[in-house]
């Protein structure tokens, strides 16, 4: 690729470091891995975070690779993958950022709410089946998927983030199933009935609006 072709929005390594630290704090604060399987899943997410923000604010490796492999010839290359491939420039990047951030913050809100409900339930030694847990059995993992998809696929996709996202989904799906076996051993038929009634990750059709309304009511209270 000619060295004279500028790449916008890159070289801010200080900002990249700040975002990696903040995102990592959120990861370990709210998902709090304990077993080695949870640490393995968190390690995948940690790699996703580091690679994502290193490309977003540091060096756009994905753009350089694609330009070299596919011979993209543009006078101006935007560091955002969708903007570069579709040729929509800053306008497309802004649209991807807005939609991505909406999905990201929605996912973070679900993670935080699920964490609060689990924290209260642990103190009372009870099974959580209300709040966001009335819509999905693993709201924190759903929130994680939404946050990663919004930031690393919609807003700022890279070869690494797009490729690693389905691996993370599979890893946490296997982890969720293992956790459910432990919950069955602890709560028996009560959890079995709950599992039959409530989906694992995706709310049933028509429940999305109720989930959003419940989150709005919790925020106002």
Question: Residues 114-165: pLDDT tens digits?
Answer: 888 888 877 777 888 888 899 999 999 999 999 999 999 998 888 889 999 9
Q: How far is CA 209 from CA 20, 74, 135, 204, in A?
A: 32, 43, 11, 11
CA neighbours closer than 13 Å in the CB half-sphere of residue 41: 23
The two structure tokens encoding residue 173: 């799906």
Of the candidates 133, 168, 134, 129, the one whose C-alpha atom is nearest the C-alpha of residue 46 is 168
Spell out a b/e string for 3-33, using b for 16 or more CB atoms within 10 Å of the CB, else e.
eeeebbebeeeeebeebbeebbeebeebbeb
Place of tokens 């009511």: 217
Question: Residues 183-212: pLDDT tens digits?
Answer: 999 889 999 999 999 999 988 876 666 666
Break the chain into its structural domains and give their ranges: 13-220
**Total count of residues recorded for the chain:** 221
**pLDDT for position 2:** 43
Question: Residues 51-63: pLDDT tens digits?
Answer: 999 888 888 777 7
- 13-220 has which CATH code? 1.20.120
């Amino acid at each position: 690729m000619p060295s004279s072709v500028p790449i916008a929005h890159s070289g801010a390594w200080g900002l990249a470091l700040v975002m990696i630290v903040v995102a990592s704090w959120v990861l370990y604060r709210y998902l709090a891995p304990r077993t080695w399987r949870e640490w393995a899943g968190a390690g995948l997410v940690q790699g996703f975070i580091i690679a994502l923000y290193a490309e977003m604010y540091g060096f756009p490796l994905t753009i350089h690779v694609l330009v070299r492999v596919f011979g993209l010839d543009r006078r101006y290359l935007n560091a955002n993958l969708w903007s570069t491939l579709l040729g929509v420039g800053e306008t497309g990047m802004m649209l991807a950022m807005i939609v991505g951030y909406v999905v990201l913050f929605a996912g973070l809100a679900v993670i935080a709410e699920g964490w609060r409900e689990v924290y209260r339930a642990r103190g009372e030694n009870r099974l959580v089946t209300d709040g966001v847990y009335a819509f999905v059995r693993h709201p924190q993992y759903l929130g994680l998927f939404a946050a990663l998809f919004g930031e690393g696929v919609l807003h700022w996709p890279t070869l690494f983030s797009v490729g690693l996202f389905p691996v993370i989904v599979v890893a946490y799906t296997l982890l969720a199933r293992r956790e459910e076996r432990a919950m069955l051993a602890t709560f028996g038929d009560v959890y079995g009935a709950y599992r039959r009634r409530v989906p694992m990750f995706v709310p049933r059709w028509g429940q999305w609006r109720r989930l959003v309304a419940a989150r709005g009511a919790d925020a106002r209270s």
